[in-house]
Chains A and B, each alone.
Chain A
Amino acid sequence: MRLGLGSPGRYAGPLAEVSLSLAIGLAAGAAVLAGVGADPARGIYAMFSWALSDPSAVLDRATPILLTGLGFAVAARASLFNIGMEGQMYLGGLVALVVSLATREPVLPTLAGVAVGAGYGALAGILKVYRGVNEVVSTIMLNWIAYFLLGYFVTIYYPSPQRPWRSLDVPVTARFPRVSELPTAFLVAVAAALVMLYLLWWTSLGYDIRAVGLQPKAARYGGADPRRVTAISMALSGGVSGLAGVLVVLGRSFYLDSHASVMAGMGFDGIGVALVGRNHPVGIVLSSALFALMAVGGHGMQLEVGVPRELVEAVTGVVIFALAVPEAYRMLASALRFGRGAGGTSEGGG
């Protein structure tokens, strides 16, 4: 258990940082509540107790954002800013739905959804490598394309006869089951996080990805091909994001609608999840759970304390913001540090 996970001591700093951020975030959230005259202690208590009384709802909510968080992180590790998780997720979900209607079992639809998501991610990577298209720009556009493709297929090819704005249902035999209350889809997502952890820290490809992300020049000296790494990490990113869509459709909603409202926004949530989880698979598992907990518990706060939904979102937003700031700062700082064409003569050491 070294390198990726590091010695236990390596966690002391991050843990302290996260605890501090969480404390600041909760305090600020409480201040927001107090500011509108609500009882902050009761509000926060309602949030947690509500969420913890319905753990499977929390896990359902965590599943897709865990995966899109991983998707953001694996690209970020290669210093790519993928914000196309949303579209990659849509296509993954759409393909899973379509394939499941034919196969009536979950495996092939899952693989197909992952593959299409990966291909969609790779497309942005390849555009960057061979055409110099910035991945932020291309993935924003690809998000829209995926959104309209999804709406088109749902309403034209697979509409439900009773409710034409939504699709046919996923066959019962193709759904991810629940073992007692535990959604197996969540287990698949956690498994994906473990695979990502292994890939980044125990394979030579992961070595290259991290190297390119940290110091492209040194990575090139070290034999990594930055173009290949860019394409591959975008594909990986798209693959897990596609899996997010698959698991929403086969694990929870069992249908899609023309606005993708069963998953809308969960691709973008991945950015926050990844930042709070420090772009590390273990951190992302934890942070996705926290996000889900606040999302589910937010209802509790709304109902029990009687604050409007917007305010609940402001409170969770404040907490997330406090948690994301340190990692966002680090990413920005390192982008500035190495972005400036490190030319010149940098000499000497610590």
Chain B
Amino acid sequence: MGPGTGPEPVVSMEGIVKVYRDGTVALRGVDFSVLPGEIHGLLGENGAGKTTLMRILYGELRPTSGRVLVGGREASPRGPWEALESGIGMVHQHFTLIPVFTVMENLSMVIPGGSLSRIGDPAVREKAEEIMGELGLPVPLDARVEDLPVGIRQRVEILKALMRDVRVLILDEPTSVLTPLEVRELFSLLGRLRERGVTVIFISHKLREVMGITDRVTVLRRGRVVGTVRTGDVTESDLARMMVGREVEMEIERRPPSPGGVLLSVEGLWVRGEEGGWAVRGVDLEVRSGEVLGVAGVAGNGQRELVEAITGLRRADRGRVLIAGREMTNSPPRELYRAGLAHVPEDRQGVGLIMDFSVAENSVLGIHDGPPFSGRWVMRWDTVRERAAEIVRRFSVVVPGLDAPARHLSGGNQQKLIVGREIMKGGKVIVADQPTHGLDVAATEYIRRLLLEERDRGAAVLLVSTDLDEILQISDRVVVMYEGRIVGGGRPEELTEERLGLLMGGAAG
């Protein structure tokens, strides 16, 4: 379906301006429209306003000015229910399902006139099964959502949106939590939706994905539209340039490593997971000063538990953790930080930040207790604010102000704040778990570069990532985790993606 000048847009937004209550101008007059049956990419740096624009389209936010047209008629939705009625559905950056409910129960609440009383209504099940069948979107309808893996939960989110016969489906960074295989499955689903005439708006920071699946792309920068292009007419670096406004280095130069003494060592570590079973089964690792060790693996193979055990957030049942030669097994986080550990946690909103604390308060989380940020008792807020301002400046974090709550930062800027804080600690060992999740190209390259700088400074970096590109780009050595064990590894030069893929899938050898 070649989108040209012919077809009328399904939905268009005109002159959208959004000023948040705290005065942040998120959108400065955006015109945006999508055609029937296209996959339309929406790109932009962190904080460019993508989520804001889509939440306006979905009726969750009211624009300060501007209007939304559906099928040529003005229909600025006053709430998601109105958006749904005019055929616009959205899958959010974070999940919105009720975890203790089953899939069916979750679905029953969204159908027209839906309520808890519709639970068990055979019509709902029929409809769900019809969609699943037509689209090849298998979902266990009677399972409880919290028992489902992330990839399946996402399918449920999509199914939930499709229950309402949407003509336009908005997906806000749907791939950042998915494994490569799940991404492929998602894309073939999107392809089938397109064949049926559904328009998909796809937000992602991964240019390769955008190039691979979209028909057209709109790029936002600082609340304005830079342009809308046909994907076929541009290259990845064109898009990157549009987003950032300058040339972006896609390649990172890496100086040869000069490893020194062992700074982090993990010996025979066994850790239990949430359900009490072994999540980490006897892992040995060593990271030297001046090297990056990449831990690859499909999400859910014990990486999270490994990281939590090293960083003092989960008990290790057996084995030892040493930092700079000192036995630190099961030490509380504060002691680990004093011993020189920095930790960029995977869950930035649940663990890495206190969402209702200000940027300033968050900029010293973990090191607030003690000099230079506090005396024996009293916080030195001036020093804290200096540090916060320094992080904001040095790592170009876009914030409304140092007193704004972290909640008001865009996802990417939240991550930059965390990474900046941890790097500023100047630690000996840096554990970075998915450090570039949800970050735009420029920020991603920047953070990878920073990690390499830390390495060159002499830090030992443990990089845990499900993103193979990331692992291969900046690791000096790679290990692959599968079902709680290290199943192989090597130097990135010696490893092909195929080989890694096989290891990650558990194919031994």
Interface residues of A (CB under 8 A from B): 2-3, 6-7, 10, 201-208, 210-211, 214-215, 217-223, 225, 340, 342-350
Return B357 CB to nearest CB of chain A, in Å. 7
A347 touches B438 (CB 8 A): yes
B366 touches A221 (CB 8 A): yes
A-B contact list, 10 entries, CB within 8 Å: A3-B358, A202-B379, A202-B381, A204-B370, A207-B379, A208-B369, A347-B438, A348-B51, A349-B411, A350-B408
Interface-facing stretch out of B171-179, B259-267, B447-455, B493-501: B171-179
Q: Which residues of A contact B146 (CB under 8 A)?
A: 343-344
Q: Which residues of B contact A215 (CB under 8 A)?
A: 350, 354-356
Q: Which residues of B contact A207 (CB under 8 A)?
A: 361, 368-369, 379
Complex Cα gap A119–B247 (Å): 64
The listed residue (B368, B374, B409) touching A349 by CB distance below 8 A is: B409
Q: Which residues of A contact B370 (CB under 8 A)?
A: 204
Would you give the 0/1 interface string for B353-365, flagging 1 where the beta carbon is closer than 8 Å to chain A? 1111110110001
The listed residue (B94, B356, B361) touching A346 by CB distance below 8 A is: B94
Complex Cα gap A223–B352 (Å): 12
B350 touches A218 (CB 8 A): yes
A221 touches B94 (CB 8 A): no
Complex Cα gap A211–B357 (Å): 8
Q: Which residues of A contact B345 (CB under 8 A)?
A: 221
The listed residue (A217, A219, A223, A349) touching B412 by CB distance below 8 A is: A349
How many pairs, one residue from A and one from B, have CB atoms within 8 Å of each other in the complex? Answer: 136
Given contacts A2-B381, A223-B334, contact A349 B410 (CB under 8 A): yes
B413 within 8 A of A: yes
B350 touches A3 (CB 8 A): no
B93 within 8 A of A: yes
Q: Which residues of B contact A225 (CB under 8 A)?
A: 332, 334
A204 touches B177 (CB 8 A): no
Chain B 62-91 residues near chain A, CB threshold 8 A: none
B176 touches A348 (CB 8 A): yes
By beta carbon, the residue of chain B nearest A340 is B99
B353 touches A204 (CB 8 A): no
Q: Which residues of A contact B351 (CB under 8 A)?
A: 217-218, 221
A349 touches B93 (CB 8 A): yes
A205 touches B377 (CB 8 A): yes
Return B407 CB to nearest CB of chain A, in Å. 7
Give the one of B51, B52, B350, B370 with max A CB within 10 A: B350
A350 touches B407 (CB 8 A): yes
B234 within 8 A of A: no
B350 touches A202 (CB 8 A): no
The listed residue (B52, B354, B409) touching A211 by CB distance below 8 A is: B354
The listed residue (B95, B369, B403) touching A223 by CB distance below 8 A is: B369
Given contacts A204-B374, A215-B354, A218-B350, contact A345 B150 (CB under 8 A): yes
